[in-house]
Amino acid sequence: MIQDNNKPTSAKPQRGVEGGRSSLAGSGAAPQGLEGLVINKAEIAITAVSPSGFPTDSFPEVAFVGRSNVGKSSLINAMLGRKKLARTSRQPGKTRTINFFSVEDKLYFVDLPGYGYAKVSKAEQEKWAPMVEGYLQNRAPLKRIFLLMDIRHEPSAGDRMIYDWVKHYDLPYTVVATKADKITRNQQPRHLAAMRKALGMADPPVPFSAETRAGRDALWAVILDSTGVDMV
């Protein structure tokens, strides 16, 4: 069974469920039944720029956000077992839409635009906050937001801002430490502890690598638990 120190498992998690899931971080063991989970159907369903374009069918949603180049597209593709569903950043900072990926006709993966890309014009940068906040506010189907941060670096100003928003809106969240393969396994605990401390979180982030797929099972366990969706 999936370990969770924070809250009991619930089919319908409430807003305000505390975010981190330390027990899953770095445990190494795949949660039962999720090893090599195969996703048969995953497709882009909706591309939106404002709430009027968001889906209305009430499937549960999990959202992903992070600094440009953090590895968000790679993570979404790895989670869904696709190579190019989410566009990896050939043009960093150009993704100015909110993309809803329909997964097994049961839930949506919501790809929020990346932040912090220096070469994006000020006018473009100013569109980011209202667009993302427009999604985070009052989005009833949103069950959990994954905040992606590079395992090698201290959280940036942008990372802290989105973390503060998530706390402000009382959203269930999980911080994911991306590109975990870029440091050795021995270095991981130190980096995870530094990220935890910098953000003032109770629990360390969940390490993930799109290269090795480390952390995939752990994140799927969190997603299924948060949404109440059954895949196995």
Half-sphere exposure of 221 (CA within 13 A, CB side): 24
**Helices and strands, counts by H and E, the chain:** 5, 7
DSSP state for residue 51 in the 8-state scheme:
G
The DSSP annotation for 94-129 comes to: ---SEEEEEETTTEEEEEPPPB--TTS-HHHHHHHH
Provide, rounded to whole angstroms, the least separation between the CB of residue 89 and ligand GDP.
4
CA separation for the pair 132, 130 (Å, rounded): 6
Q: Interacting stretch for ligand GDP, rule CB under 6 A, among 17-25, 122-130, 154-162, 205-213?
A: 205-213
Cα-flanking dihedrals φ and ψ of residue 42, to 5°?
-145, 125
Q: Which is nearer to ligand GDP, 209 or 226 (CB)?
A: 209
Site track 101-140 with ligand GDP (rule: CB under 6 A), x = hit: -------------x--------------------------
Could you say whether residue 211 binds ligand GDP (CB under 6 A)? yes
Provide, rounded to whole angstroms, the least separation between the CB of residue 8 and ligand GDP.
32
Q: Which is nearer to ligand GDP, 17 or 75 (CB)?
A: 75
Q: For the segment 36-95, give every residue that binds ligand GDP (CB under 6 A).
A: 66, 68-74, 88-89, 92
- Report residue 7 as tokens: 């809250």
Judged by the rule CB under 6 A, the positions of this chain that interact with ligand GDP are 66, 68-74, 88-89, 92, 114, 178-179, 181-182, 209-211
